[in-house]
Amino acid sequence: MNAVKNRASLSRSPRKFAAVISAALVGALALSAMPAQGASTPGVSDTEIVLGMQLPQTGAASPGYNKVDDAMRAYFDYVNSKGGVYGRKITLVAKDDTYRAGLTVSTASALINKDKVFAMVGSIGTQTHISVIKDINRRGIPDLFVLSGYSGFYTDPKKYPTTFGSLGTYVVEAKILGKYIKENLATKNVGILYQTDDFGRNTVEGLATAGVTFTAKKNAATFIAGTQAGGLDAQMQQLKDNNVEVVVIGAVASAFATAVGSANKIGYKPQYIVISVGSDATTFQTILFTKGIPFATSAALLAGTISASHAPSPGEADDEFVTAFKKINDEFNKGPSKTWDNNVLQGMNIGYTMTAALMGAGKDLTRPGIIKYIENNPAKLSSAALAPLGYSAKTHEAYTGFWIGKYDAATVLKPIDGTRKLWTTDSAKGPVTELKYTRPAIAADALPKVG
Amino acid sequence: MKLSIRKSIAALGAAALVATGVLVSVPAANAAEPTCTTGPVAIAAGFETCTGTLANGAGYQFKMPFNFKGTMFFWEHGIRWTYPGASPVPTGVEQIAPSSVNGNFDISKQMLLAGYGLAAYDGTVKGLRGWNSAYRIEMIKEVIDIASAKYPKIEKKVLYGASQAGSTITPFVEKYPTYADSVGIMAGVTPSIADAIQSACDIFYILSVFADPTIKGCTAFGLKGVPGHMASLGELQKVVALLGAWSTNLGAPGLEYPAALKGSGIPQRSSLLLTGLLTGVPTKSAHMDGISTNAVIVEHSINATVAILENIGSAIGSGVLAGQSLSEITGAGFYDNTKTNWASLLDEGDAGRYNLGLSGDDGINAMLGVLAMAPRVTGDAAAIAKFKALDKSSFTSKHPTILLHNEADRLVFPGQTNRYVDRKREVYEKALSSWEKTRTGKKPIWNTLALWTLTPETYTKFTAAGLPDLTGPVAASGVDHESFTKKQLKAWVDMLAVSAKSGKVPTSAYVQYIAEKVPYLNGDLDYRPADLKYNFGY
């Protein structure tokens, strides 16, 4: 009895169900129920590669982040318009987890079992991704270019062999900013506001490695991630009362925006130094807008804030990647908001790097194959970033270098002394040194060339 | 909001705790021939019902349909108690087929219609109560012998059961491999029970540190008979009172105890959440999906905390009753936590995912620090040794074995099924490796299948006041113990029947096909919920 006949029979009557199911099973029991090994690669056919992504498309955590998937898809659509990768078009299936980990778990299951994705790409969020990273790795699914800087995801590839980052780690960034603080703000009273989780812990760790330490309840103010919506008045008051002149922010952008709002209310105007994911201008301004602060005012509040980046600023009109990506964005982005900003730039860059990885892994695409390729060929995975990718068998950290900048009145991050200088270090105890790196040029067709 | 705990546990009261039980010696006699009658013809083809008693006096029952197709199902029920108070005293064969606790039905009618013969027996005959797996191994054999003698037309035998049955069925088929052609374990405690009870005892211990220092938990177990039963129920009552108090305010007040954390700003619910996460209590429950939020349940980890609140009463209830039963085998002092590393029991993913509910890294560190410093329980070496040696099995059975488990079973945590599959896989891979060296004899086949039933994605309902509604209908699937839909149960027994004939579990493709037809039956054979917290080996 073949499967088609079974399917038809099952709909006849409940009474016959048992007999039919039994008969059907007899024919189906040729093999045991071990998960298929060595079968065709999930999510890959002769004509298509299916990729999955998880992000907050809606909800309080969505502003800014909810543009990344559309940007990535726009780049893939551009690639598809050029014939795809080895004749296969790239399909991105993005699921909204609203930044609630329970939905991250269920949407991951849907991507794996229903959408049959080949790999996860560009998933956003530390607290959400930590809920699924173990399972994704256990299944051997490539977990590529995760948008989280938490070092714990990447620095031990034996623990998470399939996971690769798409940001520099918070530790690396904090070490580099720490060096800047030690060299330029040593006379100031430097404090910190951080969230007491993986992100904040990474930040404090990196700063401490650079020699910048804090005293709890005095120049170190904390909050539990997720509570910032209720305001950070007490924390900012604490820092003000302790005469903190420079506030390092080791927190997400919604918290930074809230902190600035709280400080503004009490006339407290310290110099802010913000880990980059916390200083995203779009998120910062959108959140303050929901609190009744006009965009012009929030732009002024952001101006002067120091942060870091591994990539060109989206406002750098003369950057060849920015130019190329903006053009693709204009033509292919079908999202509800394709306004060019750093989120769009990052999404498009992940699409570009992912395309490079798919090309490099070859026509006979397999999950182990692409992991091995990325691990062994970071230099061939060109991107818009101004620092090289650090992937190796020892670490799956992405960008190991940052430049330090300051936001101008137009919310553009610009090199702090007018000259961009790149710094590099590791997520451990290594020194911070200057990085000399020349980014490979983008091709005329804006497609990666992996040689 | 009222805490919803299983009626059997919530109904605890002094009036109910009437001491009536006295151990009765096991009758030694020969089993009598079964007495048979023709069953109701509401079942289209009709059936014969036969009853009788085993040599030790235990009742058994057969239901043989007139359209019998050759496969007899032998049901092995879970733990039952013969002391009053927490649950009714068993009166004989109460289950003839798989049933659903929440649905209040069994599938005997559907199975008889399909032409399956049914058999069951009372595993808690006088004197053989509590954790009696060792006794029951020989009782099953006797039931199967009687059925086989009466019905020579039996061609295939399926041995299946629920919960404690895992600890009986697994060693049984290893001892008597010809007595079953396929094996089904639903929500099973697959050896060893010690791994599970250690976590139940941890729940008591952690609650004693954070909430009520008068809780003695598993250290109060060990007395035999009614006094021991009463003592264990007294411990359970303390926890029920605690959970009841928390249910009125969602655990929002700050921790009052221990002194080190008083005034820390850590709410009681953070310690409850930590208790659940350290012990493996599911973070979804009958009414709480771990996701849904509103103005009162402002984020998902509070939803998960209420789920733990709803689950933990039953988890600890089963821990008490099973633990007390075990203590009568091991003697007092089987629980020891002198070497427990509490921090290692907190999964990295849980610490991140529930960071807010746990009051952030600072809250986590403070609570783990208090636990690390708290006086430990030192057990009795002999009792501990007996405890860890309970119900050991080799997992060498080659029978097609199909497990069925809810993803959020609050009594027998899903990690039990993971453990069973892991054990079987170890044995299989070792056998395969040996075979590959010589390539002689029959090549080992992988013959174990774990079926999982999942919850809907979201199902929490809120009252008009915004509080979680713990009184409405429970989730459609995936929660509670021994609670499945008719379609899920029928799919399981059908697979067992066909596996008995073929000698192999169904293919992954077929499972996926069936999963598309049976709501919430997971077709993902790679699915793996959280593991048990302990592994004492086997």
pLDDT score, position A59: 87
Exposed/middle/buried for A228, CB within 10 Å: 0-12, 13-18, 19+? buried
Neighbours of A422 (CB within 10 A): 21
How many other C-beta atoms lie within 10 A of the C-beta of residue A27? 15
Residue (of B342, B330, B427) closest to B388 by Cα position: B330
Q: Give the DSSP H/E element, type plus range, for residue A340.
A: none
All structural domains of chain B: 7-19+194-388 (no CATH), 35-190+393-517 (3.40.50.1820)
Cis peptide, bond prior to residue B508, ω within 30 of zero: no
Q: What is the pLDDT of residue B3?
A: 31
Shortest CA distance from A224: residue in chain B: B360
User: What are the structural domain ranges in chain A?
Assistant: 1-32, 48-168+314-399, 171-309
Given a cut of 50, is residue A12 above it in pLDDT?
Answer: no
Best residue in A135, A141, A143, A196 for a mutation probing chain B (most B CBs within 10 Å): A196
Query: Which fold would CATH assign to domain A171-309?
Result: Rossmann fold (3.40.50)
Task: State mean pLDDT over B187-204.
Answer: 92
Joined together, the tokens standing for residue A168 give: 């520099």
> Is-contact B139 B123, C-beta < 8 A?
yes
Neighbouring C-beta atoms of residue A318, cutoff 10 Å: 7
pLDDT higher than threshold 70 for residue B4: no
Q: What's the CA dihedral at A311, A317, A318, A322 to 10 degrees? A: 50
Partner residues linked to B59 by β-bridges: B53
Tell me, rounded to whole angstroms, the distance of Cα A256 from its chain centroid: 18
Question: What is the C-alpha to C-alpha distance for residues A356 and A350, in angstroms, rounded to an integer?
Answer: 10
pLDDT tens-digit series, residues A281-323: 988 998 899 889 999 999 999 999 999 999 999 999 999 999 9
Taking the C-alpha atoms of residue A126 and residue A136, their distance in angstroms, rounded to an integer, is: 15
Instruction: Note whether B494 contacts A131, CB cutoff 8 Å.
Output: no
For A314, residues 6+ apart whose C-beta sits below 8 A from its C-beta are A322, A340, A341, A342, A344, A345, A412
Chain A nearest-CA distance from B34, in A, is 29
Closest CA to B356 of B302, B283, B303: B302
Nearest residue, CB atoms, A22 vs list B303, B448, B498: B498
- The model's pLDDT over B319-331, given as tens digits with 9 standing for 90+, comes to 888 899 899 999 9
CA distance B70 to chain A (A): 13
Q: How far apart are CA B516 and CA A11, in angstroms?
A: 13
Contacts of A15 in chain B (CB under 8 A): 44, 113
CA distance B409 to chain A (A): 17
Q: In a mutagenesis test of the B interface, which of A13, A16, A34, A151 is the best target, namely the one with the most B β-carbons within 10 Å?
A: A34
Average pLDDT over every residue of A148-172: 97
Q: Which residues of A touch B528 (CB under 8 A)?
A: 135, 138
For residue B289, list chain A residues with Cβ-Cβ distance below 8 A.
Answer: 102
Instruction: Quickly tell me which residue has 């040696």 as its tokens.
Output: B389
Contacts of B356 in chain A (CB under 8 A): 224-227
Token pair in block for residue A165? 């980052």
The answer to whether domain A48-168+314-399 and domain A171-309 are alike in fold is: yes
Facing B525 at nearest CB: one of A35, A138, A225: A35
- Report how far residue A270's alpha carbon sits from residue A243's, in angstroms, rounded to the nearest whole number: 9
Length of chain A: 451
Q: Are A239 and A213 in contact (CB under 8 A)?
A: no
pLDDT-wise least confident of A228-237, A247-256, B35-44, B250-259: B35-44
pLDDT tens-digit readout, A102-115: 999 999 999 999 99
pLDDT number for residue B45: 65
Residue B110 sits at φ, ψ, to 5 deg, of: -65, -35
What letters, b where the CB count within 10 A reaches 16 and e where it falls short, cover B241-257?
ebbeebbeebbeeebeb
Question: Contact at 8 Å (CB) between A346 and A329?
Answer: no
Of A26, A106, A223, the CB nearest to B457: A106
Please report residues of A whose CB lies closer than 8 A to that of B114: 18-19, 22
Q: Is the pTM of this model over 0.80?
A: yes
CA dist., res. A344 & res. A315, Å (int)? 12
Is pLDDT at A28 greater than 50 in this prediction? Answer: no
- Contact between A195 and A252 under an 8 Å Cβ cutoff? The reply is yes
Rounded to the nearest 5 degrees, what angle is found at the Cα of A29, between the Cα atoms of A28 and A31? 115
Q: Is B362 helix (H, G, I), strand (E, B) or coil?
A: helix
Architecture of domain A48-168+314-399: 3-Layer(aba) Sandwich (3.40)
Neighbour order of strands in the sheet with B59-65: B35-38, B47-53, B59-65, B117-121, B71-76, B156-162, B182-186, B401-406, B448-453
User: Is the predicted pLDDT of residue B433 greater than 70, yes or no?
Assistant: yes
B19 has pLDDT over 70 = no
Distance to chain B for A2, nearest Cα, Å: 12
CB-based contact A102 B523, cutoff 8 Å: no
Share above pLDDT 90 across residues of chain B, in percent, rounded to a whole number: 75
Over 90: is that where the pLDDT of A353 sits? Answer: yes
Cβ-Cβ contacts under 8 Å, A10 against chain B: 517
Which residue of B305, B490, B494, B514 to mutate against A (max A Cβ within 10 Å)? B494
- Rounded to whole angstroms, the Cα distance separating A432 from A212 reads 14
Residue from A130, A154, A195, A202 whose CB has the most chain B CBs within 10 Å, to mutate: A130
Distance from CA of A33 to the nearest CA of B (A): 4
Residues of B in contact with A22 (CB under 8 A): 114, 494, 497-498
B299/A131 CB distance under 8 A = no
Q: State the pLDDT at residue A248.
A: 98
Q: How many whole angstroms separate alpha carbon B315 and alpha carbon B308?
A: 10
CA nearest A128 in B: which residue?
Answer: B353
Chain A residues whose CB is inside 8 A of the B508 CB are 31, 33-36
Q: How far apart (Å, rounded) are the C-alpha atoms in residues A298 and B90?
A: 71
d(CA B333, CA B311): 26
pLDDT the model gives residue B241: 93
Q: What mean pLDDT is reported for chain A?
A: 90
Average pLDDT, chain B: 89
CA B19-B20-B22 angle, 5° bins: 110
pLDDT given for residue A33 in this prediction: 47
Q: Which of B293, B508, B528 sits opposite A33 (nearest CB)?
A: B508
Chain A residues closer than 8 Å to B509 by CB: 28
CA–CA min distance A329, chain B (Å): 34
Q: A398 to chain B, minimum CA–CA distance in Å?
A: 21
| A167: pLDDT strictly greater than 60 | yes
Taking 80 as the threshold, does the pLDDT of residue A396 lie above it? yes
| Record: contact A100-B300, CB cut-off 8 A | yes
Which of B291, B293, B349 has its CB closest to that of A130?
A: B349
**Residues of B with Cβ-Cβ distance to A35 under 8 angstroms:** 508, 525-526
B352 and A106 within 8 Å at the Cβ level: the answer is: no
ipTM: 0.88
* Extended strands (E) in A334-376: none
Integer Cα distance of B221 and B227 in angstroms: 10
Task: Calculate ∠ Cα B367-B369-B372, nearest 5°.
Answer: 115
Contact at CB, B508 and A34, closer than 8 angstroms = yes
Cβ–Cβ under 8 Å, residues B167 and B133 = yes
Distance to chain B for A399, nearest Cα, Å: 24
For A198, nearest residue in chain B (alpha carbons): B352
Contacts of B291 in chain A (CB under 8 A): 100, 102-103, 106
Please tell me whether the peptide bond between B258 and the residue prior to it is cis, using omega within 30 degrees of 0: yes
Residue A435 falls in which region: left (phi positive, over 0), alpha (psi -120 to 50) or beta: beta
Phi-psi group of A330: left, alpha or beta (phi > 0 → left; psi -120 to 50 → alpha; rest → beta): alpha
Positive or negative, the CA dihedral B465, B467, B469, B475 is: positive
> Would you call B360 and A21 a contact, using CB atoms and an 8 Å cutoff?
no
In one-letter notation, the amino acid at residue B183 is V
Read off φ and ψ for residue B357, nearest 5 degrees.
-65, -25
The mean pLDDT value for B430-448 works out to 96
Inspect the interface and report whether the beta carbons of A22 and B497 lie closer than 8 Å: yes
